Structure 1
Amino acid sequence: MKNALLLLAILIASALPAAAQSAADGLDTTLVAYYRWCNRHKQDPEMLLKADTMFRLAGERQNPRMQSVALCLKTDYYYYTGNLDSLKVWVARTQQFTREHDQLTHYYFVWTRLITYYSKYSKYTLAQYELERFRDQAIRDDYKPAIAEAYKQLGHIYRTKSLYDTAIESYAKSIGMVERNNLKEVDASYLYLQLAELYTLQQKYDKAEEALRMSEKRILLPEHIWRTRISRANLAAMQGDFESAEEQVREIREKSGGYVSENKIEEIELTIYKGTRNFQKALEIVNKQLANYEMTKDSLGSSHYFYIPMLASRASLLYETGSYKAAAEDLSRQAALARQKYESDNQEMLNEFATLFDVERHDREKVEARQQAQAERLRRARLFETGLGVILLLATAFIVILTRLNRGLARAKRAAEESSRMKGVFIRNITHEINTPLNAIVGFAELASTTPDDEPERSSYIDIIRENSGYLQKLIDDVLYIADIESSEAPPSRAAVEVDTCCRRCIDELSKHAPLATEIRFASDGEGRSPRIRTSCLLLGKALTELLRNAVRFTDPKQGVGLSYSLSEDGRSITFAVEDAGPGVPEGEREHIFERFVKLDSFNQGLGLGLAVCRLIARTLGGDVRLDPDFTRGARFLLTIPTE
């Protein structure tokens, strides 16, 4: 009967901001002064300007808590002046700021303002909708005081709608949250008191008694004992213990000091008088309350919640006293008002559902707009990533190309430097190597020209001239040979070559130009028949000749020089071996000796081009030449070329 007004009082009391409790706690005195002024003038338009100033000053002092309090004060102004549209706007703005600055207490406070507004104007469907959103967000934030508050407020809503079981479940959840987490922000005694009243309405008196005992154990302030006492008196009256109920009501009226309202006391007295069949006193109370409701029934538009049931109560009392006509008039009026209220409630509910539909549609539109904005940002990010990737790819390609060009330039530079160095070495060596035989030729030619023909010395002079002429010719041939091979772009012409014949021809050629005092041994591996390969006989012969000449120069004449060859197992290559019994090659010089103008003994005659010519020819033919590291009795050079 009195649920709506009770709910309104509960919501307004429980929605007091936590900021009000702690705003003046160790803060800047200027900000505290602004806060106190605004809190005393919540419906004064000037308060909006002072709240703005307070917000600015708190920002300058980097105090987000007091900034949040200033925004809560502005929200309060629109709450108390009944401006719903502005209230919703400032609730959203305040929540955005408090969420960004981690001020969850104020975040949930302004939300309760909106919920309280809906309950204040009997928009219980909207209030329940906001409370369920409030609860779900608190659960996501794991903000336990707000979760407990949400269940408590939902219990109030369900109680107003006479959904007692659901209301009991919500209160129990709130109590469980408070007890498990020892929350001081929520009054557990009050929650147990609500349970007791609901159990009393359902005539579950044992549970109501237990809930009252728990409420008494958790009383926070001494005066709260009277709200428990009034509930005990109501429980006694509902149970039919009217004598105990009258005694408790008398004590409450005498000792509570006005803490319990007279209307609350009269409601219990009405129950007592009905139970004791004292209908005249019951009618006095009903008439008094109806007179009060007549005066205030349009103030909040919710007096029907009390007026209509009270008419039915008076009709039943009039009937008991025999005033049937008056009882009938009250019943008729009650039925008309009930029908009117039913239609009004249905219309209000339809309006609330329409509002909820608009809210949901607006939320969906915001979500869609947010998703579109995210999709657009994602598209731009992808375009940026793609562009950046292309730029990085181009930069990488540029760096790679530049690196290759730099490497090419470095190689060209090194080649140029090496060429310049080689040119200098070549000029120095060839000057020395040419002058030596030329001086010998010129000197012995003059001697031969002045010596009679029949002198034996003249013949030896001519032999010396011939020997130096041959050496000079070979020197020039080697230089021209290297130049010709390096400058030629065409591959060497290949033909069938009989290996044994080519080897013997090289030995004969070497003997013809420089008679040997050293024996050259040739070991054939043809098993009675000389193998045939397809290569350049001219180039192969030149390479073998240079290897043999080099071996003859350094070997021990008594042990001679050996020439042999062997085919690979697959028959695709052939290896020629030229070995001598000389001093060998130091380990650190085994690759160095194949470079141009390299001589291990600088006093030996020659430019140091023989082995360089061999390697150049071998690689031209698709093979290579190397020094056998396992041979220790001198030096053995291995020339390997393909057979095809």
Structure 2
Amino acid sequence: MPGNKYILILCTFFIGCFPLHVLAEKDKDVALQEYSALCRKSISLPQAPQMCDTLADMARKANNNDVEIYAAAIKLECYYFKNDEQQIINQVEVVKKLCRAYQNYYYYYFVWGNRLITFYIKQNKINIALYEIKKMLQEAQADNYQPGIAECFRSFAVIYLSQSAFGLAMEYYQKEIDVYEKAGIDYLNLPVEYSTLAQCAIELNLPDKAAEAIEKGREHIRKNDPYQTFVIKKANLLLCLYRKDFAKAEEEYAAIEKLFKENTRLDNFTGDLYDTRLSYYKATGQRDKAMSLLHFLENEACYNCTAYLANSLKKQKADLYMENREYRLAAQEYRAYIEGKDTLNTKSLQNSVSEFNTILEVELLQKEKNILQMAVQKKQLYVTYLIIGFLVVLLVTGWIVCLRIYRLNSRLKKSESDLRVAKESAEQASKMKTEFIRNMSHEIRTPLNSIVGFSQVLNTHFSADEETREFANIISQNTFSLLRLVDDVLEISALDQNNTLVYDVSENINNACYQSMEQAAYSVPEGVQLEFTPTHPELIIKTNSVRVAQVLTKLLHNAAKFTKRGKITLNYKIEDKNIIYSVTDTGIGISEDKQEVVFERFVKVDSFTQGTGLGLPLCRIIANGLGGSLTLDKTYKDGCRFLLTLPFVPC
């Protein structure tokens, strides 16, 4: 059902919220049990962390390890629902340390997966989440702890769910459930997992699979657990709406509303309730109620906690306006949604690169630390051997010295082998980064192409409405800009991996120039002349016209962007066994202090001009890969002149 994915994504951020209370309920100390319940009820209060510290002191005095872990976990809950990243990281380490000390593997992996990794996913820090999952899976396999492995599968499922990959999400949820059921583990949150599995099946148009999951989840609901009851009823409500069984859906909806009114333990899940209401209103045609609820949710903390969820409201509002035929309002909301999505996609792509680089830097620093430690050890070993060798020369015979030297050489060879393995590992990590960026670019291209198509439909359908066509053109222009950004990032990533380009194709020297002039012509403003006169009309050379045209086109686009009058000229000359292409404009020029900075990545001379700061760095990388260079002519003062110098290889 359209829009249900927002409910599903929001739900994943709260999965696994209730099993912690079981620790306290098992305790026979009435005072500890009562104070534990009080801490749980006060989780949203400012004094909750101090109350948890008091509970931990009481547990230590009573020598009760389970309640001490419970107190630390509840304190983590306080920070988790406030999205306090640093406190979450610190408190997760506290809980993990306690669990290791007391051999409590269940909550060790619970806080790692359900809290830390889920938090990173909620903040769209996918790379860091994947890095944590990798570490968690390695520890779980080393511990041979099946619930820990299952928790890794759940974390993978949540990541796929956040990317709307419902098929893969359903596959990993099923793997998680299979681990628990095959191992005969009584997992507390099975109803929640079955509920999410059912909702994925609904998104994939598999109602029978969804119904089967709901029935299995209902069998595992624990007594007096309102949250588990709620998630199963919610999944059944969505299934009824999918099957258009509105009578049954109305019964389930009324039961959910009653459940929330009667159970204060569900107060932390009002965001999930709001999304359930919204889905019900939209499916039953109650558009006014749905619109009122959307206006209300714009100010709700559960939606403002992430920019993605906040932006999704704009899309849902626009859809409702379209259904009500309020096209002007719909266009405004679609425009706001697309602008927000463009911003999120750009930020997400930049964050992905930054996060991946951070992870690589951490691993490289660790390797450098190991290398330094090895160097210190070798130095100490060397000094030791010198002393031993001197004593051996005095006390024993020369053959012992030879034996020591032989052993030293063996260790040095082993060290060289370890360094070689470390280098190969770093290169593999770099390849993984490139592959990840390529996959992310593909995932971004698909919705962008849909947006372009939709904007063209709007342009055609509302051809008589000038304002609507203007909005559609804005959508297309911004979408193409984002596509160029994706292409530039992918191109730079590929060239970083392999910067050696072919330069041996026989072709007319003017072909690349004509191609770039044709591609750049549409971007030249009115009143600006675009000129090119071939110096050698029939000269055949060894070249790479595709890459040369790519650089020249970007330089011409760049000139057109900053030239409002005058002309833009493309020329070339052959000098000292080099071909020197020049792109000259009469635009605003670049100040002397920024003439070299513009070739750095993500640097823009004018922050108010459209662009991402990747064009010129990409051009320089391509020029270097072709065995040439790209520079700025500092002697030209009437605008800008870029010089592309490449080897001249005549046929």
Q: Which structure: larger Rg? A: 1
